[in-house]
Amino acid sequence: MSEWFPTFYAVWQTPWRELWHQFRYTPIRDLIRLRLSGRLDWKSNLAATDLATDIRQQVTDVVKATRLWPLEKAEITTELIAHFQDGQLAGKSHESLLADFGDTQTVAKLMRSGKMRNRTLLWRTCVSTLKTFSVLAVLLSLAYGLLAIWLYSAAPNPTVDFLAELNAPAQSSPLADQAWPIYREAWIEHDIKSLNTYDQLTDPVYTYVIGPDDDRWPSSIEFLDQHASLVDAARIGGRLPGLGLQLYPDWRDYPEEDYLALWGQTSVEWQREHPEDSTEAKNPLLLGVLLPHAQEFRSLGYILEADMLRSAEAGNVSRVIEDWHAMLGLSPQLIEMPSTVCSQIASAVRSQALRAIGRVLIEYPDLFDQAQLTCLRQRIESDSARDFFTSEPLFYLDDLLQNVYSDDGNGDGRITAQGLTILNRIVRMYGQNNEQADDRFSKLLVPAEMLRAVSRKDVRQIIEKWNDENSVDYTKSIREQPLRVTKVDEYLSHYETRDPCTWRVLKMMLIGSDDARKTVEVAEAQRAAVLVGIAVTEYRLRHHRWPRDLDELLPTFLSDVPPDPVTGDSLKYRLIDGRPVLYSVGGDRDDDGGLHPVNKYEVFSSDPNVVPEDGDWLLWPTNSPQD
Amino acid sequence: MKLEREMMRGAGPTAVLQLLSSGEKYGYELVESLSRQTDGVLNLGQSTLYPMLYNLEAKGVVKSKEKLGPNGRIRRYYRLTARGKKKLEADRQQWTALVQAMGALGVTRQGGFDVGLPSGLATEGGAV
């Protein structure tokens, strides 16, 4: 109590400012003991001594230079004050005391290391661990940096102009065989890019071409009349064996007329008003070569089918056949430039031609004579949609590889930074992986990704293997194909996290594989059905009635009944409301009597994970208002 | 005579421990004792002594405490710990063996030194 009261009284008398000062410079251990010692304020303690100024300065310099914790500094100050005061008491001059003291920095350094050794084991362990990790981090960063330099030093060395090779068939075909000059003139005249043929001639919901029994038919007729020269160009051009269109790496490389035909008047005006677009970097890849003509072939298909229906309605058989041959001729012209996209559109246009002739057969059963029907059958038998996909070109792959990977001269190499930039840009175009590509942290991981990426040779082998498997699938019907659990996305997901670089390459090359396979299957099923449809029509022509079953067609009109593409049993045939219907039982393998499913696109799927919808897969007639 | 740095590094800690074996001492007292009792041979400057004391404290052979001295000033006093006493004993034996070995070789003159340790390290109470 006697010690406590004076302390309390002194505190009570101290002005607040000084109290705060004391508080600031009191160690926690003293505060816990309710003592405002203020002993951390070593400068004030030093200033309060009777030591000479130069000695005080020396002590200050040493204590500051130790860079120790406040309490440690205070302890050293106290010790040095006592030391110098003892020296003075012993009669030594402050000059000799200073001379004996030694160099400021050396003393500070030694004191610092001595005091630090007195710190707790935990603190010293933490510091040494931190130092060890820091050294390791520096070494690893250095190694990673060297690795990055090594990886970034590789550059692609493209040597082959694959576009020239792809353009070769178009370039070598005789001018008289080329449809492009005919199309070009008509496309420019009618500005096909702004025509919007799809909305003008088809039902937007069910996607069939509007026919004579539809309220919108008069406007279709008006459209055909207004664009008669375009219809003529499609009919004449479609029967030529070649297209003759040269493709260029960049839209700016096209001749003026080609550009006007392919991009339309609106685009030309846009370019005139926005010259800055012309300064963009040019596309370096074959994969990036645009196919500006491809979608317009769908437009030509709609125009020709509409004209077929008008001709059938008018009883103009020869024009119906001409239109139909022209429709079938569009597909080979498209695949003059071999690419998956062209193959898919070619297959779709060919399917449309098959549906169109099937529709005319059912709606105008007396239109064709026997010779014409035979001619139609022979034409259908002569080609197969499988032909469009069996020889998937590796030009695209090789062009991508030569622009993305380095070249060791033996067909191998490693992924390059420039190549990765190209891949990222293209992957972004597909709307995926934006965040990853833009993330700065992810960029730091790029060298690690590059190190993990498989080599150029291995990537080629992976894609060749995939293509080989797909090519085998294209030659088989749905029921013969193995249950392909591994689809493209699943196949790619294996690489996406394990090897993102290779994933980007594969993503470029394998997109659309599943869709292509499905397109082929649908086209082949339709082809078989239309051939039976022609036989049924021939039967009616001779017997003036539809056959009761398909066996009645054997062997005069049909050598054998084609199999149901799903089950392998005979294709199903029924007369519904006096009209023949050919169908497959569909994915549910259940005969629903020719019942149309609610969603006709899900009745068939090669994907075993898709639950098939109830209903049948109608093959003839199909895609007509009666469906 | 002044010892070379390496020699001082080996002898200094043992000398300090020896001085503390007679009781607790503060820094200046140690500096003075070393200088006086060794005729300046082990004249440790402050720049050597205080870091050495901190190192000895870190090793647990000495312990320090701030106390009010007789003149009313605060000083830091150092004293030997139990470990320090053991260490001093071990050092003594090593120094004895070393001096004897050096003497046998004729490096040291037997007459100039006390038994085992340099004469300067003898305490005021007698030889070590």
What are the tens digits of pLDDT across the range A391-427?
A: 556 788 888 889 989 999 888 998 898 888 887 777 7
CA distance A280 to A81: 75
Radius of gyration of chain A (CA): 42
Minimal CA separation from B128 to chain A, in Å: 27
SS (H, E, C) A529-567: HHHHHHHHHHHHHHHCCCCCCHHHHCCCCCCCCCECCCC
Q: Domain check: are A106 and A181 in the same one?
A: no
Strand order in the sheet with B62-68: B25-26, B74-80, B62-68
pLDDT for the residue numbered A514: 58
Q: Domain check: are A298 and A173 in the same one?
A: yes
Q: What angle do CA A253, A186, A299 make, to 5 degrees?
A: 90
pLDDT for the residue numbered A302: 95
**Domain endpoint, select from A338, A365, A380:** A338
Cβ of A264 under 8 Å from any chain B Cβ?
A: no
- Which among B58, B71, B76 has the least Cβ separation from residue A79? B76
CA distance A370 to A353: 20
A160 compared with A275, residue with greater pLDDT: A160
| Mean pLDDT to the nearest integer, A188-206 | 88
Chain B residue numbers touching A48 (CB-CB < 8 A): none
Minimal CA separation from B27 to chain A, in Å: 7
Q: What angle do CA A94, A99, A103 make, to 5 degrees?
A: 125
Cβ of B53 under 8 Å from any chain A Cβ?
A: yes
Cβ of A105 under 8 Å from any chain B Cβ?
A: no
Q: Does residue A365 have a cis peptide bond before it, meaning omega lies within 30 degrees of 0?
A: no
Quick check: A39 and A45 in contact, CB under 8 A? Answer: yes
Quick check: A604 and A612 in contact, CB under 8 A? Answer: yes
CB within 8 Å: A102 and B27: no
Cβ of B26 under 8 Å from any chain A Cβ?
A: yes
Instruction: Write the CA distances from A169 to A219, A250, A332, A455, integer angstroms.
Output: 40, 20, 12, 32
| Mean pLDDT to the nearest integer, A489-495 | 75
- Which among B46, B57, B73 has the least Cβ separation from residue A101? B46
Report whether pLDDT(A437) > 50.
Answer: no
Count the neighbouring beta carbons within 10 Å of the beta carbon of residue A118.
16
A551 domain residue, yes or no: no
CA distance A225 to A232: 11
How many domains are contained in chain A?
Answer: 3
SS (H, E, C) A41-60: CHHHHHHCCCCCHHHHHHHH
Chain B residue numbers touching A101 (CB-CB < 8 A): 45-47
Strand order in the sheet with A579-584: A572-576, A579-584, A617-620
Quick check: A286 and A395 in contact, CB under 8 A? Answer: yes
Q: Report the DSSP pairing between strands A579-584 and B62-68.
A: unpaired
CB within 8 Å: B46 and A107: yes
List phi, psi (to 5°) of B25. -140, 155
Cβ of A82 under 8 Å from any chain B Cβ?
A: yes
A429 domain residue, yes or no: yes
Q: Domain check: are A198 and A332 in the same one?
A: yes
Cβ of A75 under 8 Å from any chain B Cβ?
A: yes
A147 domain residue, yes or no: no
Domain ranges of chain B: 5-84
Element (H, E) at B26: strand B25-26
CB within 8 Å: A111 and B50: yes
CB within 8 Å: B47 and A103: yes
Element (H, E) at B67: strand B62-68
| Mean pLDDT to the nearest integer, A210-235 | 95
| Mean pLDDT to the nearest integer, A216-241 | 96
CA distance A405 to A409: 12
Quick check: B47 and A98 in contact, CB under 8 A? Answer: no
Report whether pLDDT(A360) > 90.
Answer: yes
CA distance A20 to A40: 13
A186 domain residue, yes or no: yes
Cβ of A455 under 8 Å from any chain B Cβ?
A: no
A145 domain residue, yes or no: no
Q: Which residue type, as a one-letter code, is found at position A459? A: V
Cβ of B115 under 8 Å from any chain A Cβ?
A: no
Q: Domain check: are A306 and A410 in the same one?
A: no
| Mean pLDDT to the nearest integer, A480-491 | 58
CA distance A239 to A322: 8
CATH architecture of B5-84: Orthogonal Bundle (1.10)
Binned at pLDDT 50, 70 and 90, residue A74 comes out as very high
Q: Is A45 exposed, middle or buried (0-12, 13-18, 19+ CB in 10 A)?
A: middle
Q: Does residue A621 have a cis peptide bond before it, meaning omega lies within 30 degrees of 0?
A: yes
Q: Which residue has the tokens 């017997």?
A: A543
Minimal CA separation from A447 to chain B, in Å: 47
CB within 8 Å: A78 and B66: yes
A-interface mutation test, from B5, B42, B54, most A Cβ less than 10 A away = B54
Q: Domain check: are A207 and A299 in the same one?
A: yes
Minimal CA separation from B110 to chain A, in Å: 32
The residues facing A583 across adjacent strands are: A572, A618
CB within 8 Å: A118 and B57: yes
Q: How far is CA A445 from the centre of its chain?
A: 20
Element (H, E) at B63: strand B62-68
Q: Domain check: are A166 and A289 in the same one?
A: yes
Cβ of A48 under 8 Å from any chain B Cβ?
A: no
CB within 8 Å: B53 and A101: no
| Mean pLDDT to the nearest integer, B76-105 | 94
- Which among A87, A107, A115 has the least Cβ separation from residue B28? A87
pLDDT for the residue numbered A251: 85
pLDDT for the residue numbered A297: 95
CB within 8 Å: A83 and B46: yes
A613 compared with A333, residue with greater pLDDT: A333
CA distance B2 to B8: 9
A364 domain residue, yes or no: no
- Which among A80, A82, A114 has the least Cβ separation from residue B51? A114
Nearest in space to A165 (alpha carbons), one of A335, A395, A370: A395
Q: Could you read off the pLDDT of A580-593 as tens digits, one per residue?
A: 999 988 877 889 88
pLDDT for the residue numbered A353: 92
Q: Domain check: are A245 and A306 in the same one?
A: yes
Percentage with pLDDT > 90 across chain A: 42
Under DSSP, the state recorded for B44 is -
CB within 8 Å: B55 and A111: no
pLDDT for the residue numbered A60: 95
CB within 8 Å: A113 and B51: yes
**Residue A310: strand, helix, or coil:** helix
Cβ of A79 under 8 Å from any chain B Cβ?
A: yes
Cβ of A280 under 8 Å from any chain B Cβ?
A: no
Cβ of A115 under 8 Å from any chain B Cβ?
A: yes
Residues 2-21 of B with CB under 8 A from A: none
A435: its two tokens: 């965040």
A486: its two tokens: 């591994």
**Residue A82: strand, helix, or coil:** helix
Binned at pLDDT 50, 70 and 90, residue B59 comes out as very high
CA distance A285 to A402: 10
Report whether pLDDT(B77) > 70.
Answer: yes
**Domain endpoint, select from A320, A338, A356:** A338
CB within 8 Å: B28 and A107: no
CB within 8 Å: A103 and B53: no
Quick check: A401 and A461 in contact, CB under 8 A? Answer: no
Chain-wide mean pLDDT for chain A?
84
The residues facing A618 across adjacent strands are: A583
Binned at pLDDT 50, 70 and 90, residue A108 comes out as very high
Cβ of B44 under 8 Å from any chain A Cβ?
A: no
Q: Which residue of B has its CA nearest to A45?
A: B74
DSSP, residue by residue, A561-605? PPBPTTTSSBPEEEEETTEEEEEE-TTTT---SSPPPSSGGGS--
- Give the number of A-B residue pairs with CB atoms closer than 8 Å: 72
Q: Domain check: are A14 and A112 in the same one?
A: yes
Minimal CA separation from B127 to chain A, in Å: 27
Chain B residue numbers touching A115 (CB-CB < 8 A): 54
Q: Domain check: are A214 and A313 in the same one?
A: yes
B-interface mutation test, from A110, A119, A120, most B Cβ less than 10 A away = A110
Minimal CA separation from B58 to chain A, in Å: 5
Cβ of B119 under 8 Å from any chain A Cβ?
A: no
Q: Could you read off the pLDDT of A88-99 as tens digits, one per residue?
A: 888 888 888 888
A100: its two tokens: 């004996």
- Which among B47, B52, B74 has the least Cβ separation from residue A78? B74
Structural domain boundaries, residue A447 = 394-515
Count the neighbouring beta carbons within 10 Å of the beta carbon of residue A347.
24
**Residue B65: strand, helix, or coil:** strand
Q: Domain check: are A318 and A455 in the same one?
A: no
For A91: left if phi > 0, alpha if psi spans -120 to 50, otherwise beta; the answer is left
| Mean pLDDT to the nearest integer, A29-41 | 86
Chain B residue numbers touching A107 (CB-CB < 8 A): 46-47, 50-51
CB within 8 Å: B73 and A82: yes
**Domain endpoint, select from A463, A493, A515:** A515
Per-residue b or e along A375-402, where b marks 16 or more CB atoms closer than 10 Å to that residue's CB:
ebbeebeeebbbbbbeebbebbbbbbbb
Instruction: Write the CA distances from A292 to A90, A245, A258, A264, integer angstroms.
Output: 103, 11, 10, 10
Q: Domain check: are A167 and A106 in the same one?
A: no
Q: Domain check: are A405 and A257 in the same one?
A: no
pLDDT for the residue numbered A289: 86
Q: Is A538 exposed, middle or buried (0-12, 13-18, 19+ CB in 10 A)?
A: buried
Quick check: A285 and A247 in contact, CB under 8 A? Answer: no
SS (H, E, C) B84-100: HHHHHHHHHHHHHHHHH
Query: What contacts A123, CB < 8 A, 6 or more positions away?
Result: none
CA distance B47 to B28: 12
Under DSSP, the state recorded for A458 is H
Q: Could you read off the pLDDT of A454-469 as tens digits, one per residue?
A: 889 988 888 888 777 7
Chain B residue numbers touching A85 (CB-CB < 8 A): 73
CA distance A170 to A167: 5
A222 domain residue, yes or no: yes
SS (H, E, C) A179-235: CHHHHHHHHHHHCHHHCCHHHHHECCCCCCECCCCCCCHHHHHHHHHHCHHHHHHHH
- The alpha-helical segments, DSSP class H, found in B1-128 are 5-20, 27-37, 46-59, 82-104
- Which among B52, B53, B76 has the least Cβ separation from residue A78? B76
Nearest in space to B28 (alpha carbons), one of A90, A179, A125: A90
A536 domain residue, yes or no: no
CA distance A376 to A386: 19
Q: Could you read off the pLDDT of B18-31 as tens digits, one per residue?
A: 999 999 999 999 99
Nearest in space to A330 (alpha carbons), one of A367, A360, A305: A305
Q: Tell me the pTM.
A: 0.64
Report whether pLDDT(A77) > 50.
Answer: yes
